[in-house]
Structure 1
Amino acid sequence: MDSRRLLRTSATALAAAGLILSGCSGGSDAAAPAPHAAAAAPSASPEALKKFYGQKLTWRDCGAPGFQCATLRAPLDYAKPGAGEIDLAVSRVRATGPGKRLGSLLVNPGGPGGSAVGYLQGYAGIGYPAPVRARYDMVAVDPRGVARSEPVECLTGPEMDTYTQVDQTPDTAAETGALATAFQRFAAGCAKRSGKVLPHVSTVETARDMDILRAVLGDEKLTYVGASYGTFLGATYAELFPGRVGRLVLDGAMDPSLSAVDLNRDQTAGFETAFRAFAADCVRTPDCPLGTGSVEEAGEAMRKFFRDVDAEPVPTGERRALGESLATTGVIAAMYDEGAWPQLREALTRAMDGEGSALLALADSYYERGTDGSYANLMSANAAVNCLDLPAAYGGPADAAKAVPSFEKASPVFGKGLAWAALNCTYWPTPPTGRPHRITAEGAAPILVVGTTRDPATPYKWARSLAGQLASGSLLTYDGDGHTAYGRGSDCVDTAINTYLLEGTVPPDGKRCS
């Protein structure tokens, strides 16, 4: 598993376990970015992009009652707008009233690779606070390469089953070679099945698609709520189009200034923080499968369990046994939301008793594997975007091996596996087009950055960093557990964000909620 894949809001991360215009704005500044950076866009739009900014969408009913869908056209390659197009799936649900309509509110749940359309129709369009839904048309677009928008495909379902079971804590040269081969086969599968779209799914390109959608929806400014990886997408939009920024909420923020290896290491530490919070809660219960001693003792019990299933996988009642890779993924999946902790305790108890189906179900929810053995394209799209956005963390397995101690220091429980997981982009068939850099978005309207103190996937220090980089950034802190903060039970957080979206009033920089 690539640890950077874990950047999606908790409302989507455990979905399986708990079980997409008309009008045109003024001129556009959507020229192609400079190589390796999200360059400031010029004030006039290239002639070749006018047909995209001037298109009108044909809406049709879809999904649940009240939702509509359409197809947005965008250039496949912004450097050559006339050389081909890509179709992007869009969905919306109209403002319900009462009150004056404020425009469109675009939402993205993260990933990269999470379906924004699925998130809108399954949660945001019905679950966002009623006063927000009353005043905004809720809108989502699946990013290029994701879900309904010409999805990147890499492996078949059976091939994905094999891929997700590869040992990611190699102890021998043979195991190291097998892991490297698995990443190579995954990359080769992506090139074979999705070679046309693969070079054109970067965050910069998706941000430019968002500006086309903004214009087609008739909005002068973009109003947006991005969660997790969606915060990097929103910040990139602000960097490209600072004058088009309306009200942007970046919840569970990423730090765009970090290299791939630093992002992975920081996130590894975030999962350790979340695990320790889970362990502290668990050891207070008499039936905790990790014992009733200290948090450190619980951590050792967790490591022992991983070692045990690495040596002898646990039966699950199907052909896939629960080895260390799937077991680790199942535990990590439950770190996104403290509401999943009881489920994890039960799953661990059963697995330690020799029955691994419950922990396997958590891993399957993380990978978006269906009961029929098929997978959503989340993992494929995630790798495709990540490997374009930043240079690879390592030059090869030797670099990964050298990084293991620093990852294990960041997380004794998860460090070794997440260090090796960062090897995936080493073998990617398309060269990266992005680089780590600070995003200041000079000239943008106030942007609200939200961070959770014990967030496992986007560590709190990333939110502090992004808010400090943005010239107009304001930091809202949620002192709590779980991934992201909006709509997760804090009235203080929700009131602050709702007030910003509805009235444009940013909470004081540094405001804290619990």
Structure 2
Amino acid sequence: MKLSDVAGIACHNKGHVDRTEGRVSNRGLFHIRGRLNVRASVLASVVLACGLSACGGDDSDPLQKYREQTVEWTACDPSILGVSNAAIDELWATVGDRLKCGYVKAPLDWSNTERGDVVMAVMRLAAGTPEKKHGSLVFNPGGPGADGLGLATSLLTAFSNSNPENPQGALQLRLLNEYDMIGFSPRGTGASTRFQCATNELERTLVTNAVEWDTPENIANSNYNGRKIAEACLKNPIAPYINTDATVRDVDLLRGLLGDEKLNYLGYSYGTWLGAWYASLFPEKVGRMVLDSSLDFSATLEQGVFLGQPPARQRLLDDVLAPYAVRHADYFQLGNTEAEVRGIMPSLSPRVQQVLATPLSGLGYIRTNADRYLDTIFAARSLDVLLGLAPDPADMEAVDEALDQHVFDSSNPQRNTALRETADSLLKQYAGTWVSPSPTSISMSSSASVLVAVHCNDTPATTDLTVWENLLRGLAPRFPMFFSSLLEVHACSFWGGPKVSKPAITPMKDLNVLLVQSQYDSATGTEGANALFQQLPKAHRVFVNNDFQHGVYPYTDSCVDPLVTGYLLGDSLTQREKICAGHPLKQDAPTPEGKAKAANSPEVPASQPPVYKDPERARELIEEFKRGLIPPQFKP
């Protein structure tokens, strides 16, 4: 490496910069990596070279044009979020000129600007009281692959209903008034430069139930699909640059263009991985950082997601929802013991098990879906019975007619209708999977494409196919309804390895970040969240007992919300960890007041006005916000 090359690294972004060769910080520290060996005299020359070239100042710096660009903030196109509804129209009419949109140019390859640019779409909701502004608060909803452009406005719609006469409501209004709220589409997604994996080759049908999956033909089909998806992605020339390292540098560029010395950040799910990567790369630039529903940054994404989610989802079923069904056995009609409830899924035909697995995984993201989760099991059991009674199970018209005539719950007409609708939806999935499948070309959405690229580019994955098969054989009998994600998303085995080097978490250990977690989160399980927390001695955590909400904040309570909102506004946290009580599930609340709390209406002393002027409307808006955190493949 030439001295000029090292000087270029030192000048990069006037702060921490990682390469596989080495890392230089503006605090004069140089950490040796790989095979690079630089003496102190060379480092002194680097510093001198940086000073002579006016780091970040003259034309010799290829990143100067990005750091000095002017973001043109203009009125947002009403369709910029890809949806149009009354709530959005109402919001934009209310905030008026405070809401602006803009585009930021960033290098496609942060180590070689000659490869071209990407464009990042940004939405800014200006602080209501600019004279009190703390800076900007940047949001990320996770994924990877989720579009976070409208996330800040979604939180606004909930908190704008806060009651200024209530102390907690006033605090929430301060958050809206004292920060510019920033949403953005990460590279590859939404309104930014999009990334997509597509090819003409047809995807092969997979058997993903625990009874029938392990055959040479099915394994060959999974390998074929994984290889073709990897090839389709890698044919896209920007594939190597869809990774967390590049997105983190995009975010740091955005921070500077917003005029902020520090990044204030609220990230959910994969957004915690993104935040941890930023904090490990640029620790001196971290302001207030909330990581909600965390992945273990010291692990690989394969370990945290594909191997971590099946046990978390099984624990939710076994330890939360099966006992809930037993406590209200007359209502759910799934059995009088936990063993009976847990035994329903293995008793179903393998084909019905397969169409049930995805809905259960999706419904496990949001606590208010608990009743729907159990009702979906009830509907699947009914469908299985009707398929077994049909003279020809492939005669979908006859089975559909039997469903129309079937009585699911004679004591509750409203629930009976809902159960029939759920069974009908499962029947459609059954027909498309087993009766009249229609193979299609491999063509993934930008969200799904980015998810694959980030997983494969960020960290190593299992490439030995024998080891991969044995991983599946270990998962299937223990987590039969939830093991198949590794079977279905198999591209990283054929990717060729990660394209970036994940930074060590060490620089993050001195930071006062705030973690938020629920006990039974089925997407980012407590094992990984606990591991991250234990590695960060200066961090604090808000932990919600006896709940499974993925994406906790805002929780609409008097424990989680004031702590997180106050932290973002600069409050000091005195406890290393605060344990908050989870909301009761719907059927556990015996009184109207209890049911209101179960529906996420915060409890307040009788002497105080409510936190929200319209608690029911606030509940609806917060649920809509939480639904935005669910991965697209699990949305209805």
TM-score by length of 2: 0.66
| 1:139 equivalenced with 2:168 (yes/no) | no
Residue 431 to residue 261, structure 1, CA distance change in 2 (3 Å)? closer
Native 8 Å contact 1:265 1:410 kept in 2: no
Native 8 Å contact 2:542 2:578 kept in 1: yes
Alignment of 1:2-401 (within 5 A): 28-29=13-14, 33-35=18-20, 41-42=25-26, 47-62=61-76, 63=78, 64=88, 65=92, 66=95, 67-97=99-129, 100-121=132-153, 123-128=154-159, 129-155=172-198, 166-169=206-209, 170-192=213-235, 195-263=236-304, 264-276=306-318, 277-286=320-329, 291-305=334-348, 307-309=350-352, 324=354, 326-354=355-383, 356-359=423-426, 376-396=445-465, 398-401=466-469
Question: What CA distance in whole angstroms lies between the structure 2 residues aligned with 1:228 and 1:74?
Answer: 25
Question: What CA distance in whole angstroms lies between the structure 2 residues aligned with 1:435 and 1:246?
Answer: 24
Residue 260 to residue 109, structure 1, CA distance change in 2 (3 Å)? closer
| 1:505 equivalenced with 2:572 (yes/no) | yes
Native 8 Å contact 2:272 2:295 kept in 1: yes
Range with bigger deviation, 350-359 or 112-121: 350-359
- Give the drift of 1:218: 0.4
Q: For the aligned residues, what is the CA RMSD?
A: 3.1
SS of equivalent to 1:48: coil
Letter in 2 for 1:390: T
Larger relative contact order (Cα-Cα within 8 Å, sequence gap ≥ 6)? 1
Residue 500 to residue 133, structure 1, CA distance change in 2 (3 Å)? same
SS of equivalent to 2:132: coil
Question: C-alpha deviations, 1:111-136, integer Å up to 9, x for none?
Answer: 11111113334x22323543311211
SS of equivalent to 2:137: strand
Question: What CA distance in whole angstroms lies between the structure 1 residues aligned with 2:501 and 2:451?
Answer: 17
Question: What CA distance in whole angstroms lies between the structure 2 residues aligned with 1:500 and 1:260?
Answer: 29
Residue 73 to residue 490, structure 1, CA distance change in 2 (3 Å)? same
Q: 2:562 aligns with which of 487, 495, 505?
A: 495
Question: What CA distance in whole angstroms lies between the structure 1 residues aligned with 2:429 and 2:251?
Answer: 33
Question: What CA distance in whole angstroms lies between the structure 2 residues aligned with 1:54 and 1:384?
Answer: 30
Letter in 1 for 2:321: F
Native 8 Å contact 1:446 1:506 kept in 2: no
Bigger radius of gyration among the two = 2
Partner in structure 1 of residue 43 of structure 2: none
SS of equivalent to 2:252: helix
- Give the drift of 1:335: 0.3
Question: What CA distance in whole angstroms lies between the structure 1 residues aligned with 2:564 and 2:258?
Answer: 23
- Give the drift of 1:408: 4.2
Question: What CA distance in whole angstroms lies between the structure 2 residues aligned with 1:279 and 1:351?
Answer: 16
Letter in 2 for 1:146: T
Letter in 2 for 1:29: K
Partner in structure 1 of residue 533 of structure 2: 467
Residue 490 to residue 463, structure 1, CA distance change in 2 (3 Å)? farther
Native 8 Å contact 1:266 1:410 kept in 2: no
Alignment of 1:397-476 (within 5 A): 398-408=466-476, 411-415=479-483, 417-421=484-488, 423-428=490-495, 431-434=497-500, 438-442=504-508, 445-470=511-536, 472-476=538-542
Native 8 Å contact 1:257 1:436 kept in 2: no
- Give the drift of 1:472: 3.0
Question: What CA distance in whole angstroms lies between the structure 1 residues aligned with 2:489 and 2:453?
Answer: 14
SS of equivalent to 2:559: helix
Q: Give the aligned length.
A: 455
Partner in structure 1 of residue 387 of structure 2: none
SS of equivalent to 1:441: helix
Question: What CA distance in whole angstroms lies between the structure 2 residues aligned with 1:34 and 1:287?
Answer: 61
- Give the drift of 1:255: 0.5
Partner in structure 2 of residue 482 of structure 1: 549
Question: What CA distance in whole angstroms lies between the structure 2 residues aligned with 1:487 and 1:231?
Answer: 16
Letter in 2 for 1:51: K
Instruction: Point out where structure 2 has 5 or more consecutive residues left out of the alignment.
Output: 1-10, 28-49, 79-87, 160-171, 384-402, 404-422, 431-442, 582-636
Question: What CA distance in whole angstroms lies between the structure 2 residues aligned with 1:436 and 1:59?
Answer: 33
Native 8 Å contact 1:464 1:475 kept in 2: no
Letter in 1 for 2:497: P
- Give the drift of 1:149: 1.8
- Give the drift of 1:286: 4.0
SS of equivalent to 2:71: coil
Residue 289 to residue 174, structure 1, CA distance change in 2 (3 Å)? farther
Question: What CA distance in whole angstroms lies between the structure 2 residues aligned with 1:127 and 1:104?
Answer: 19
- Give the drift of 1:328: 1.3
Partner in structure 2 of residue 18 of structure 1: none
- Give the drift of 1:198: 0.5
SS of equivalent to 1:462: helix
Native 8 Å contact 1:330 1:362 kept in 2: no
Native 8 Å contact 1:235 1:439 kept in 2: yes
Question: What CA distance in whole angstroms lies between the structure 2 residues aligned with 1:117 and 1:36?
Answer: 34
Instruction: Point out where structure 1 has 5 or more consecutive residues left out of the alignment.
Output: 1-25, 311-323, 364-373
Question: What CA distance in whole angstroms lies between the structure 2 residues aligned with 1:362 and 1:220?
Answer: 51
Question: What CA distance in whole angstroms lies between the structure 2 residues aligned with 1:72 and 1:132?
Answer: 25
